A and B are shown apart, each in its own frame.
Chain A
Amino acid sequence: MSGELSALDLLLSADPTLIAIVRLSLLISLSAVLFAALVGVPVGACLALTHFPGREVLIVILNALMGLPPVVVGLAVFLLLSRSGPLGSWGLLFTPQAMVIAQTVLVAPIIAALTRQTIEDLWVEYRDELAAMNVGPARRVATLVWDARFSLVTALLAGFGRAAAEVGAIIIVGGNIDGFTRTMTTAIALETSKGDLPLAIGLGMILIFIVITINALAWGMRHVAERYAG
């Protein structure tokens, strides 16, 4: 019980360590989602709209990649970024940048796969009208992406949820360094293993709050969509 009470203390007094950890977590996961979207949305849209041999296989692979285990991604990025690895000269291991990279790799397939599905469904609906209006390929993609914006934001929220909740990838490539690469999930893992629960519980409460907020946003998005864009 005392663990939970001191957790509340930490939260209410805005303990600076706690704040720093939460800030880093959000910065890393939000950045990862942004970069994943910059890659994933165009890839998903193109995959939805172009036809080439092997397309079906690629779609199956993309869908499978949504379930990439975070620790495996962490291991792969670790091997790439280690000084003795191919990208070692970049010196990125054990930095927040490495964590962003790992989470981007984790989240991009999710966003690409969900984008592909959404855009493809919308294309079926829009195909005739856009062809009738003589809309060129570039504008076509932009129109579909814009009209699908609410579903795509939901995809981004799904990606953010995945990133914010994972620990396997970032603990491996980040090293869980105190004050530098320690995030909510890695701190919870550490403090729990030390048997030091107040901080872990406090962070856990914040993390759950974030997860609930994301789901509420996704749910609310549907209602906003209907009210304002039909």
Chain B
Amino acid sequence: MKHLFVKRAVAATLAAALPMAALAADKPESLKIGMTAFLTGPASVFGVPARDATEIMVENINAEGGINGVPIDISFIDEGAGAESLTSEYRRMVESGGAEVMLASISSGNCQTIAPLAEDLQVPNLMWDCGTQRIFEENDYKYVFRTQANATPEMLASVIYLLKTKPDFNTIAVVNQDYAWGRDSWDIFSTALKAMKPDVEVVAEFFPKFGSPDFSTEISRLQALNPDVILSTSWGGDLDTFVQQASQRGLLNSSTFVLPLAESSLERLGSALTEGHIVGARGDHYFLHPERRDDADFQAFMKQYEEKTGEVSVYPVFHASQAMAALTTAYEKAIADNGVEWPSEEQLLAALEGLEFQGLGRPVKLREDNQGVEAQLMGTSVQTGDYPFATLENIMIFDGAELTTPVGEISTEWVGSLDAGFVDSVSVDTYEN
């Protein structure tokens, strides 16, 4: 604590001693940016696709001359190496590596660590993927922006889609991973569900350990309890194992599954994810996005990505595209607004305030608290035979602004204050597939 105070005091003194920030910066040889992502560990199912996608996007931008003639030079930091190594690498990249902007991170824990660090280092940081809603609800940041939604709209969209498509269910059980995301997402989901449909009974709550290789016992118990709906916000190997084991034992035939992160597992689950289960995508992210799939830029990118990786795009690819879009749009805006060759940090931060940009999904807008307002896509699984895995039908895209906690309010309180009428009040666009 004392250490931090001294550091801040030194930083403040230095800042005061320096002359006023220059009006514009010299045009650099390249724009150095750093991105943190899990390249190892279980969450590399998100980090590796995001890195691959970002590399493609950077190549594309540089092939067209970069930003105002300045090419982007991106380096990656592995979040899988642990928080300590992450912060020291992050610091090194900013202090001696010359990174102008940082993109961090996937893990909510890492976002919590990095947000104050970015303020200390005075480096603009785009939070490109982490889910925790707490960042801007508990703190004010000047250098930190989030180019995507957070857990609250993601969970609310799942609840609303469930209530719209299956309004008459009575019982629900949950099987989430035993760590911050699994617990927090259930908090938001259950609070919202109880507020909008108070008569629902929660018949079982399971939090098997993160990385659990076996859900047999949970599945036996769920079969005995026979709930109408089973929620799991799990992801990666955990979700794959749970759905595969449940599918093998017929649990998918007796209960409706609500899987808010299953878009990222569709291809791996193959035929195991049968028809009629609710799939979410942490935003409007889907490789067959109904509003975007006919657009030339969307198609071109999807093709490039599939050629490079051999897999279809998943939501971290979309999140990465939003961060890159925010970055390029902010620089271009700052250059145009100020009539300069290259913006100063102040000018870049000013451009980021309230910025609107478009990645591979609908446009995203940064709110006054720096939280991104992102649309939410939900759908129901269907095996059409066009792909060797489940795709989505009855797709609903919700407007992000209505689902995001109002500025200055705390998510769990706001969500708890909603009522049954909320389900019908949110604007939604529906697509057959």
A and B pair up = no
